[in-house]
Amino acid sequence: MTALKETNTVGVDQIRECLESLGEAEWVREMIEYYRENGRFRPEDVRRLLGDPTQSVEIGPSASLPKFFAVS
């Protein structure tokens, strides 16, 4: 219950302010800079941006969220 009380003390305005203050991540700036200079993305950026091409997102009765986000 303590955790719940602590969560409830954070107001909507505070959450909104926190989200609105989020800046562009450092790796995104580096990625854009690299793309401008080289005309392509670094391999690690492509993976990070697009995800694993052998993975899928499943929705429906047989879908398993823990399986989709399985931690190996």
What residues line the site for another protein (CB under 8 A)?
24, 28, 31-32, 41-63, 65-66, 68-71
Can you tell me the distance from the alpha carbon of 72 to that of 63, in angstroms, rounded to the nearest whole number? 18
Residue 13 CB, shortest distance to another protein, in Å, is 20
3-state SS string over 10-25? CCHHHHHHHHHCCCCC
Q: How far is the CB of 24 from another protein (least distance, A)?
A: 8
- What is the Cα–Cα distance from 46 to 71, expressed in whole angstroms? 21
Instruction: Report in angstroms how near the CB of residue 37 gets to another protein at its nearest.
Output: 16
Distance separating alpha carbons of residues 72 and 68, to the nearest angstrom: 11
